Amino acid sequence: MNRIPQHIAIIMDGNGRWANERGKERSFGHQAGVDAVHCITSECVRLGVKYLTLYTFSTENWNRPADEVSALMGLILTSLEEEIFMKNNVRFKMIGDMDRLPDIVQEKIKELEDHTAGNTAMTAVIALSYSSRWELVKATKQIAKGVSDGKYKMDDITEEFISQHLETAFMPDPDLLIRTGGELRISNYLLWQIAYSELYFCDTYWPDFNEEALYKAIYSYQNRQRRFGKTEAQVEEEEVKSDK
């Protein structure tokens, strides 16, 4: 319990395949995926995780069949239950292109962010209408305009400066990135932020990703040495010093 990742990011994959294997419509899998979100959110709070970021809908997902997109928007709207966040003392945040979302979804998100702003146990973040390349282009345009307007100087642009212009400026980078569903790719998710995150891939479809599956991912994380470019010996020496 003394090595729980403070920020876990998850690519929730496999809802559609989970439903297809059961002879159901893909929407059935997405609904089951919502139940998994509630389960993992509650468990992360219990474990002491401070930030949980869930890849909910990418900018590329707008290219899916219109009926599936419509069903997903409806499901997102109904699944954002304030009671769940208030019961667990969780603050709700969204990252992504808000302008592309239906007005009713935008209103629900803003309302939920406002009502949960004082909660302190954990921050649950949904990446909705989000992609990392979209985010980086947006940040680049903002910085370029600032330089053009004389607000910033070229020498102001550092790694930290860029991070401050990203959607995720309010939270630390992920310690652990989990992808469910058996695929071995990042899918345009938090590309800047996961530069030194530990990556964990599993075959479990998201609707079946329960507390035990979460423990396995965290256990894998705990048994790795995070070096951030240093040597193993350097890290071990630092750990010895910190224990004294």
Q: What is the pLDDT, as a whole number, of residue 132?
A: 98
Q: Among residues of the chain, what percentage have pLDDT more than 70?
A: 99
Q: What's the N-to-C CA distance of the chain in angstroms? A: 20
Q: Which residues have C-beta within 8 Å of that of residue 127, sequence separation ≥ 6?
A: 53, 54, 55, 56, 57, 58, 94, 95, 96, 189, 190
**Catalytic option among 2, 61, 103, 173:** 61
Mean pLDDT value across residues 191-201:
98
Are 41 and 214 spatial neighbours (Cβ–Cβ below 8 Å)?
no
Torsion angle (degrees, nearest 10) of CA 159, 237, 218, 194: 10
Q: What is the pTM of this model?
A: 0.93
The predicted-structure confidence for 104-163, as pLDDT tens digits, reads as follows: 999 999 999 999 999 999 999 999 999 999 999 999 999 999 999 999 999 999 999 999
Residue 229: band (very low, low, confident or very high) from pLDDT cuts 50, 70, 90: confident
190-194 long-range contacts (CB < 8 A, ≥24 apart) are 190/9, 190/53, 190/127, 190/132, 191/132, 191/133, 191/136, 192/132, 192/135, 192/136, 192/162, 192/163, 192/166, 193/9, 193/163, 193/166, 193/168, 194/9
Residue 244: band (very low, low, confident or very high) from pLDDT cuts 50, 70, 90: low
Are 218 and 188 spatial neighbours (Cβ–Cβ below 8 Å)?
no
d(CA 197, CA 193) in angstroms, rounded, equals 8
d(CA 236, CA 242) in angstroms, rounded, equals 10
Q: Which residues have C-beta within 8 Å of that of residue 122, sequence separation ≥ 6?
A: 41, 44, 45, 49, 50, 51, 52, 88, 89, 90, 91
Q: Is 67 a catalytic residue?
A: no
Phi, psi of 24 (to 5 degrees): -110, 165
Report the residue count for the chain. 244
The predicted-structure confidence for 16-67, as pLDDT tens digits, reads as follows: 999 999 999 998 999 999 999 999 999 999 999 999 999 999 999 999 999 8
d(CA 188, CA 172) in angstroms, rounded, equals 19
Instruction: Give the angle 102-183-52 at the CA atoms, nearest 5°.
Output: 55
Q: Is 61 a catalytic residue?
A: yes
